[in-house]
């Protein structure tokens, strides 16, 4: 059984197929929103604002549900506000979140044909202000470790990272072979967190790549859904708990994680509907 067949077989796990279908229906409903007939770029830009805010929360950077943070991120993205010259640690993480989420805009289906380059570009966006220059945009080398997600267990040793990355690239290839975008996105997200190929920035890159796969894989072609919000609204036991279950191995853990991802995608599509409503009503500032 090749990787594409293995991805398809996961839809047969109890509840997974139905959950994926439900998320797909929610994204399809979003796609046909009246506001998206002419104003996709505006709505997609707001989605990235919301996504950056949520992914920063998942890094422990910002309080949940802070509309003030959303307004700040929106102003920073459109140039109405500027980053501090000497940002504190929280501000650096927020900036990293904005940069990596913004970088997803330019990723196309062709980028998935060169996954190593895509990961490098996303990591540069995420880690440019978090790591020394010689550690940015490349996987860990011998002697380098990652302290992120320590509650999930140790990161894969640096010597094993290249082989594990090849498995992630194969998963992305399954998308081109017709694999479910939601399942592929969920698997590469969890694999990046489990492997932790970079010294830091792994979660940021994983969630950004999930957004890319949802869009270019056809689940959310408008890029207006906010999957990061679906994860952040279950911050703590659910997001990290599902990742822990996945990392422990076994079918049950994979099933739990995919159910979580389907729920996050559906929640993200609902958030996209609210964005589209606001765009249509002219309520975005």
Query: Under 8 Å CB-to-CB from 44, ≥6 apart: which residues?
Result: 105, 222, 223, 224
Tell me what pLDDT residue 78 has: 82
Tell me what pLDDT residue 96 has: 95
What pLDDT band is residue 137 in, cutting at 50, 70 and 90? Answer: very high
Asked if pLDDT for residue 285 goes beyond 80, the answer is no
DSSP state of 221: T
CATH classification of the domain holding 118? 1.10.3290.10
Query: Under 8 Å CB-to-CB from 129, ≥6 apart: which residues?
Result: 87, 92, 95, 96
Tell me what pLDDT residue 85 has: 86
Please work out, in degrees rounded to the nearest 5, the angle formed at the alpha carbon of residue 263 by the alpha carbons of 270 and 232.
80
Pairwise CA distance, residues 109 & 184, whole Å? 14
Tell me what pLDDT residue 62 has: 59
Tell me what pLDDT residue 234 has: 66
Tell me what pLDDT residue 249 has: 79
Tell me what pLDDT residue 64 has: 44
Q: What is the pTM of this model?
A: 0.94
CA 64 vs. chain centroid, Å, equals 17
pLDDT in tens, 50-95: 999 999 999 987 544 456 788 888 888 888 888 888 888 888 999 9
CB 99 within 8 A of CB 55: no
DSSP state of 86: S
Print the domain residue range for 246: 3-281
CB 112 within 8 A of CB 175: yes
- When mean pLDDT is compared across 148-152, 221-225, 230-234, the lowest value belongs to 230-234
Query: Under 8 Å CB-to-CB from 40, ≥6 apart: which residues?
Result: 222, 223, 224
The residue among 215, 208, 204 whose CA lies nearest residue 182 is 215
pLDDT in tens, 239-282: 999 999 999 878 999 999 999 999 999 999 999 999 999 998 88
Q: Please give the average per-residue pLDDT across 175-198, as a whole number.
A: 95
DSSP state of 59: T
How many folded domains does the chain comprise? 1
Alpha helices in the chain (DSSP H): 3-9, 16-31, 40-58, 67-78, 89-103, 115-127, 161-176, 181-195, 202-216, 227-232, 237-247, 251-281
Q: Please give the average per-residue pLDDT across 188-212, as a whole number.
A: 98
Q: Please give the average per-residue pLDDT across 12-33, as a whole number.
A: 96
Tell me what pLDDT residue 66 has: 59
Q: How confident is the prediction for the chain on average, in pLDDT?
A: 92
Asked if pLDDT for residue 235 goes beyond 60, the answer is no
């Amino acid at each position: 059984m090749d990787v594409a067949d293995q991805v398809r077989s996961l839809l047969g796990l109890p509840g997974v197929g139905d959950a994926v279908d439900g998320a797909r229906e929610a994204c399809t409903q979003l796609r046909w929103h009246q506001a998206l007939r002419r104003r996709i770029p505006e709505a997609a830009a707001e989605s990235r604002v919301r996504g950056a805010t949520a992914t920063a929360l998942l890094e422990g950077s910002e309080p949940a549900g802070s509309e003030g943070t959303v307004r700040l991120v929106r102003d920073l993205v459109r140039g109405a506000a500027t980053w501090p010259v000497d940002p504190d640690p929280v501000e650096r993480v927020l900036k990293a979140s904005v940069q990596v989420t913004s970088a997803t805009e330019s990723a196309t289906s062709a980028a998935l044909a060169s996954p190593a380059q895509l990961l490098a570009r996303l990591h540069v966006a995420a880690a440019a202000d978090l790591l020394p220059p010689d550690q940015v945009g490349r996987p860990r080398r011998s002697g380098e470790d990652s302290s992120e997600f320590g509650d999930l267990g140790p990161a894969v040793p640096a010597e094993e990272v290249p082989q594990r990355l090849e498995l992630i690239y194969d998963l992305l290839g399954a998308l081109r072979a017709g694999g479910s975008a939601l399942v592929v996105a969920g698997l590469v997200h969890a694999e990046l967190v489990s492997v932790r190929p970079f010294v830091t920035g792994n979660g940021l890159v994983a969630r950004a790549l999930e957004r890319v796969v949802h869009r270019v894989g056809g689940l959310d072609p408008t890029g207006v859904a906010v999957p990061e919000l679906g994860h952040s609204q279950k911050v703590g036991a659910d997001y990290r708990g599902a990742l822990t279950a996945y990392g422990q191995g076994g079918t049950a853990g994979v099933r739990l994680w995919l159910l979580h991802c389907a729920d996050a995608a559906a929640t993200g599509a609902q958030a996209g509907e609210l964005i589209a409503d606001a765009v249509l009503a002219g309520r975005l500032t």
